Structure 1
Amino acid sequence: MLSLKPLPPNHNPSLLHSLTPFTPPFPRTQTLKPSKHASPPSAIQSALQWNRKPELAGETPRVVVITSGKGGVGKTTTTANIGISLARLGFSVVAVDCDVGLRNLDLLLGLENRVNYTLVEVLNGDCRLDQALVRDKRWSNFELLCISKPRSKLPLGFGGKALVWLVDSLKQRPEGSPQFILIDCPAGIDAGFITAITPANEAVLVTTPDITSLRDADRVTGLLECDGIRDIKMIVNRVRTDMIKGEDMMSVLDVQEMLGLALLGAIPEDSEVIRSTNRGYPLVLNKPPTMAGLAFEQAAWRLVEQDSMQAVLVEEEPKRRGLFSFFGG
């Protein structure tokens, strides 16, 4: 999915690779009409390097909602891996699990046994905010906050204003404001979705290359824009190059043309995701790293610098001509 420039003779050995615009050398066989939410593609500026920290763009704290509309596309997995990646890059992060009844972010992070208080108990005056924030022992600059405990009832007045209060309280903490507040949005576009997007000023839309996810993603894009969120980037999850070549799956380029959004990352299908989820160990911490883990790390890098990547066309598999093709038949 990335176009890699060949290294010059006098290249810098610390350079991992650069993301550069790519023009296919062959014509496309299918042209898709961009959606009404289409925006001009942003210029690609950053180069991924091991020897420098990404430059933080925008005003802090940056409140990012990670959403999709459709369930099961990888929102919580994306929140966990990008949040840990940001912490590894040296940024302070607070991840908020806004799924009230079916929270799972604590499981993916391996912090389920340490969640003693939630935001509801903070609002009820039963504990302080710093008591409800669970600090990760692996990375002290990463904290988790759950909205409520499973099977608990929310107060009648709970809504977007409660999350706005939360963001304001995090800004005024004595130890300093976090640089990133990641909000794991619940599935659907009902009250939970409206509550989650209320304090956000940018969004990461997670989708998979199938028509049901794309329809929901297009609908969610319109709702985000109506709420005033204009900085929307997408992550295409569970990409399989073999199916794209066999014309059984839409390519990342097709998805980008249909939704008209800047591309933050393309995550390949990886069986290690299931293993890391069951262990409560984020994928980006695996050693040696997997392709999906590296893709999440690169997406986190682009998020820091408000950058995007360029999707390229995957060439289709040549048609088999039969048994005698070896003899020129």
Structure 2
Amino acid sequence: MFSLQLFSANPNPFLRPKPYPKSKRTHVSSVLQWNRKPELAGETPRVVVITSGKGGVGKTTTTANVGLSLARLGFSVVAIDADVGLRNLDLLLGLESRVNYTVVEVLNGDCRLDQALVRDKRWSNFELLCISKPRSKLPIGFGGKALVWLVDALKAREGGSPDFIIIDCPAGIDAGFITAITPANEAVLVTTPDITSLRDADRVTGLLECDGIRDIKMIVNRVRTDMIKGEDMMSVLDVQEMLGLALLGVIPEDSEVIRSTNRGYPLVLNNPPTLAGLAFEQAAWRLVEQDSMKAVMAEEEPKKRGFFSFFGG
């Protein structure tokens, strides 16, 4: 058994219970406050790009789960799949059969923007927008300016501007990456605790800052406590020290991710919830309030008298 203590970076963002007397001191302190709606910080719509540089670290999974978590918290969300060649966000959301029009058809004048938006039947305040269909050719002029026009059109639509516009960025740092980050004013960097991901994440952080995006937070994905304990995996504290970014969330390794992907049913909709699903919900909560978390030490059983780094809330 391990006892985890979770702390928020903001001084007093959560309603805490009255502390126990010293004679009844407990090792567990819950900080997430589920009996209230989080307070939306910043100007809306919040345009957030989810990126990493390296492929396969969980960008699309993060986009699907954080996006639906925001919708479940009561905020209107438009998720844009900006990966032109390898579109997958619709599969993870189970909406692939309903994507009839894309941004390409909108730009060509074949349909209206509202026709290209796919509304999730489970949560009507969540909508998906795909840039193009697989194997289709983009217009020659499509790039960052076209995506900025698209975001501006979402802001000005008759139904009202969404609270969040989340852009699922393609892997790499080529033209697709530049296009995806152009309209964003904040970024979520997804990484895993391995040296290849961290090198790419560090490079992407520099590119985001050069593009004027200063609000950058990271999500550390696929964390395994057993490997951290055996010193076979870097701890979240190590990752945070290497990248120097505010920590938005820590997602534990979870075999349910593969099942949910194949079913087109995001983790956050599972009942009962999984650990990874709860971690995504916590990350979405912090994103709303522009909060962050701190990696702390988790104490092992007293008889072992050891410490290892894991994560905080």
**TM-score (normalised: structure 1):** 0.84
Q: Distance in 1 between matches of 2:266 and 2:104?
A: 26
Measured against aligned partners, the alpha-carbon deviations of 1:181-204 in whole angstroms (never above 9, x if no partner) come to 000000000000000000000000
- 1:182 is matched by which residue type in structure 2? I
Q: Distance in 1 between matches of 2:278 and 2:210?
A: 33
Aligned residues: 286
Task: Describe the SS at the equivalent of 1:218.
Answer: helix
Is the counterpart of residue 56 in structure 1 residue 40 in structure 2?
yes
Matching residue of 1:207: 191
Matching residue of 2:127: 143
- 2:168 is matched by which residue type in structure 1? D
1:17 is displaced (CA, Å) by: 1.7
Query: How large is the RMSD of aligned CA atoms in angstroms?
Result: 1.9
Measured against aligned partners, the alpha-carbon deviations of 1:107-141 in whole angstroms (never above 9, x if no partner) come to 00000000000001100100000000000000000
Q: Distance in 2 between matches of 1:290 and 1:125?
A: 43
Match of 1:276 among 260, 277, 292: 260
Is the counterpart of residue 261 in structure 1 residue 245 in structure 2?
yes
Q: Distance in 1 between matches of 2:296 and 2:257?
A: 25
Bigger radius of gyration: 1
- 1:180 is matched by which residue type in structure 2? F
Is the counterpart of residue 169 in structure 1 residue 153 in structure 2?
yes
Task: Describe the SS at the equivalent of 1:228.
Answer: coil
1:81 is displaced (CA, Å) by: 0.1
Q: Distance in 2 between matches of 1:113 and 1:266?
A: 32
Q: Is the 8 A contact 1:134 1:145 kept in 2?
A: yes
- 1:120 is matched by which residue type in structure 2? V
In the TM superposition, 1:146-157 aligns within 5 A as 146-157=130-141
Matching residue of 2:81: 97
- 1:93 is matched by which residue type in structure 2? V
In the TM superposition, 1:61-100 aligns within 5 A as 61-100=45-84
Task: Describe the SS at the equivalent of 2:161.
Answer: coil
Q: Is the 8 A contact 1:246 1:316 kept in 2?
A: no
Measured against aligned partners, the alpha-carbon deviations of 1:6-40 in whole angstroms (never above 9, x if no partner) come to 96249xxxxx822xxxxxxxxxxxxxxxxxxxxxx
Q: Distance in 1 between matches of 2:189 and 2:144?
A: 19
- Percent of aligned pairs with the same residue? 89
1:316 is displaced (CA, Å) by: 8.5
Measured against aligned partners, the alpha-carbon deviations of 1:204-248 in whole angstroms (never above 9, x if no partner) come to 000000000000000000000000000000000000011001000
Is the counterpart of residue 219 in structure 1 residue 230 in structure 2?
no
In the TM superposition, 1:220-259 aligns within 5 A as 220-259=204-243
Task: Describe the SS at the equivalent of 2:30.
Answer: strand
1:102 is displaced (CA, Å) by: 0.4
Q: Is the 8 A contact 1:245 1:315 kept in 2?
A: no
Q: Distance in 2 between matches of 1:236 and 1:148?
A: 29
Q: Is the 8 A contact 1:201 1:231 kept in 2?
A: yes
Q: Distance in 2 between matches of 1:173 and 1:103?
A: 25
In the TM superposition, 1:24-39 aligns within 5 A as none
- 2:49 is matched by which residue type in structure 1? V
1:312 is displaced (CA, Å) by: 1.4
Q: Is the 8 A contact 1:119 1:132 kept in 2?
A: yes
Q: Is the 8 A contact 2:4 2:299 kept in 1?
A: no
Task: Describe the SS at the equivalent of 1:307.
Answer: coil
Q: Is the 8 A contact 1:247 1:316 kept in 2?
A: no
Matching residue of 1:3: 5
Q: Distance in 1 between matches of 2:283 and 2:256?
A: 18
Q: Distance in 1 between matches of 2:266 and 2:202?
A: 29
Q: Distance in 2 between matches of 1:187 and 1:294?
A: 26
Match of 2:99 among 115, 118, 122: 115
Q: Distance in 1 between matches of 2:300 and 2:196?
A: 24
Moved more, 307-316 or 192-201: 307-316
1:63 is displaced (CA, Å) by: 0.2
Q: Is the 8 A contact 1:244 1:314 kept in 2?
A: no
Cα 1:210–1:84, aligned 2, differ >3 Å: closer, same or farther?
same
Measured against aligned partners, the alpha-carbon deviations of 1:38-73 in whole angstroms (never above 9, x if no partner) come to xxxxxxxxxx21110000000000000000000000
